[in-house]
Amino acid sequence: MKRQARGSGSTAIADTPTARAGEEDEGTECPSHRLRRKLGRADLRAVPEARRALRELLRPWGGPERSAIAELLTSELVTNALVHTDDDAVLTATVEPDRLRVEVRDFVARRPSPRVPVADDHTNGRGLMLVQSLADAWGVHAHGVGKAVWFELGAQAA
């Protein structure tokens, strides 16, 4: 099912259950659900829109605490992509019964790295530190013309 997001030029696509890559769709016991959203260049309205879309996707998954963590970490990745690049980005979230994977892909090759925030800087520099401390796994990988920053959460708290 495809739908156009209202109020912005971003496109949101919510897929019905799909098989994992490399699996047949015949009777798969653990279907996944996916959210894919194109994020417009420097459009910070995409941050709360991404949180709302993810919240909707996660409603039947992992419980409210895991959903809240997922929303926070997604906000950080989306904000970083929009603030630190001068290009569009793509958010993809895939939910399976036992895990969530969120990936924000941008078109700038420069790799981010966690840094210790400056004491008098109350709002900047904490995003990747949060991802590093709250995600079960996270990383950065290069793709043809940029990179993707991702995290994973298990359905149950570790």
For residue 53, give its domain range.
33-108+121-154
Residue pLDDT tens, the chain, 158 long: 333 333 344 444 343 333 333 333 333 344 569 999 999 888 888 999 999 999 999 988 878 899 999 999 999 999 999 988 888 999 999 999 999 999 999 998 888 766 665 555 555 557 888 999 999 999 999 988 899 999 999 987 64
Report if residue 44 sits inside a domain: yes
**Residue 116, domain member (yes or no):** no
Q: Angle at the Cα of 51 (from 75 to 138), degrees rounded to 5?
A: 45
Does residue 11 sit within a domain? no
Q: Is residue 5 part of a domain?
A: no
pLDDT of 150? 97
Residue 149: per-residue pLDDT: 96
Q: Which residues contact 39 (CB under 8 A, 6 or more apart)?
A: 10, 46, 50, 78, 81, 82, 88, 89, 90, 91, 104
Domain CATH number, residue 65: 3.30.565.10
pLDDT value for 79 = 93
